[in-house]
Amino acid sequence: MNQTNSVSKEVLFQQLGNTWYIFTEINDEVVYSIMPEGMDPRTTKLELYEVIEEHLEKVAAHQREARAV
């Protein structure tokens, strides 16, 4: 199965202080990342969500590699 097909399209945004975080589940694991400075999910255009999904895929892959070491 292609890794892209396993990405959930559901995400959670959480703001702590002035920083926004994005959470999702990829391959049965919760993955999170800090959103780029100045990006607010309430005002971000939908075209950027694909970029966010790609970023979270990279975060998940990095976490898997770190655990494999």
Overall average pLDDT of the 16-41 stretch: 86
Across the chain, mean pLDDT equals 77
Q: How confident is the model at residue 47 (pLDDT cuts 50, 70, 90)?
A: low
Order of all β-strands in the sheet with 29-34:
7-16, 19-26, 29-34
Q: State the Cα–Cα distance between residues 59 and 65, nearest whole angstrom.
A: 10
Give the pTM.
Answer: 0.57
Three-state SS for 31? strand
Instruction: List, in order, residues 6 or more apart from 29 with CB less than 8 Å away.
Output: 60, 63
pLDDT surpasses 60 at 24: yes
